[in-house]
Structure 1
Amino acid sequence: MSGAVAARLAELGLTLPQVTKPVASYVPAAVTGNLVFTAGQLPFADGALPATGKVGAEVSAEDAQRFARTCALNALAAAESVIGSLDRVTRIVKVVGFVASAPDFTGQPAVINGASDVLAEIFGDAGKHARSAVGVGVLPLDAPVEVELILEFA
C-alpha cells in the first residue's frame, strides 16, 4: 500500500491488517459499479477476537468503541483487496454498525463512533457518511461489535 491514504494511516500510527478470512460462505467485499460493499467485519486483531460478550455487561462501551475502530480498519482492508488502493476511494457512503447489547444498553451510537471517527480521521470530509447503529442480541462468534461499509471509488 502506498499513496496518500497510506501516508495518512502512517501519520495516524495506524496500519491495515490482513484481510480477515470469512467465517462462513461469503466474500469480504464485493464491487458493483463504483461502489464497494464490505461484509460485516468483526474486531479481529492478529486473528483473534479481543473480547466476547455483550456491551454494557461483559464488555465496556469504551472497549467496544475501540473494537468498532478495529472493525472499520478491517473493512478498509477488505475494500482495498478488491479495488487495489484506498487512494481510489472518493467517499465513505454508509456505515452500518451492530452492537451486541445488554438489555438495558442504549449507547450504540457512541460505540459506532469508533468506526465513524477513524474514517473521518483517515479520509477527512470524504470520510463523513450516513450511518446506522443497531443494538442486537448476539453477533457471530459472540463478538461485541460488527461493522460494514459502503464506499464509493473512482
Structure 2
Amino acid sequence: MSNDEAPPPQGDYVPAVLHAGIVYTAGMTPRRKGALQVSGTVGADVDVDTAYRAAGLAVRNAVAAVRAVQPDGTGDIRCLQMTVYVSCTADFTSLTAVADGATAALTEVLGPGNRPARSAIGVASLPSGAPVEVQLIAAVG
C-alpha cells in the first residue's frame, strides 16, 4: 500500500467519513498492506522508540484515509484534532513521547503549520495487539 491508499478496514466500518468539509477517521494502527508491523504493549515488550515509529506509520494511514474521501483527492488538509491511543503498562507515563511520533510524521506529510490539538491516552489493549492507534479529525478543501 502506498501512502496515498486508505488502509483496508479490519472490521465492519469505513476508514473515513467526510461530512460538511470535515473528515473523521477510524482509528488507524501501524499497518502496511493490511499487516500489522508492530505488536505488543509499550513499557513491556515495545520500547518508546519503536512505539514512536509505529505512531508515525499509523498517522500516515490516517492521512491516507482522509485523502481517500476528499472530493478531488488532492485538496488542502488541515488537521484539527488527533487522538493517539497507546497500549501500555499501568506504570507507563511517557505517552507524549510516543504521540510525538505521530505529530512528527503528520508535520512531515502535511507541513510544519499543520500540528493539531492532540490527546495521548493510555489503554490496556488495542485491536490485533497494536501498540498504538491514531484517530484524526481534519478539515479538507
TM-score normalised according to structure 2 size: 0.92
Residue 85 (structure 1) aligned with residue 73 (structure 2): yes
Do 2:27 and 2:135's aligned partners in 1 also have CA atoms closer than 8 Å? yes
Which residue of 35, 40, 53 maps to 1:53? 40
How many residues align? The count is: 139
Equivalent AA in structure 2 for residue 118 of structure 1:
A
Question: In structure 2, what is the Cα distance between the partners aligned to 1:18 and 1:153?
Answer: 17
Which residue of 75, 99, 116 maps to 1:112? 99
The answer for the alignment partner of 2:119 in structure 1 is 132
In terms of fraction of residues, the more helix-rich structure is 1
TM-score normalised according to structure 1 size: 0.84
**Deviation digits for residues 30-55 of structure 1 (CA, Å, limit 9, x no counterpart):** 01111101100010023311221100
Do 2:51 and 2:98's aligned partners in 1 also have CA atoms closer than 8 Å? yes
Question: In structure 1, what is the Cα distance between the partners aligned to 2:41 and 2:73?
Answer: 35
Sequence identity (%): 38
Aligned partner of residue 105 in structure 2, secondary structure = helix
Question: In structure 2, what is the Cα distance between the partners aligned to 1:96 and 1:134?
Answer: 8
Which residue of 41, 47, 57 maps to 1:70? 57
**Deviation digits for residues 73-123 of structure 1 (CA, Å, limit 9, x no counterpart):** 10011111100324321x110100000001211111110111111212232
Question: In structure 1, what is the Cα distance between the partners aligned to 2:123 and 2:61?
Answer: 21
Query: Unaligned regions of 5+ residues in structure 2, if any?
Result: none
Equivalent AA in structure 2 for residue 150 of structure 1:
I
Q: Name the Cα RMSD after superposition.
A: 1.4
Greater mean alpha carbon deviation, residues 17-26 or residues 63-72: 17-26
Do 2:30 and 2:58's aligned partners in 1 also have CA atoms closer than 8 Å? yes
Query: Unaligned regions of 5+ residues in structure 1, if any?
Result: 1-14
Question: In structure 1, what is the Cα distance between the partners aligned to 2:109 and 2:4?
Answer: 15
Residue 24 (structure 1) aligned with residue 11 (structure 2): yes
In terms of fraction of residues, the more strand-rich structure is 2
Equivalent AA in structure 1 for residue 44 of structure 2:
A
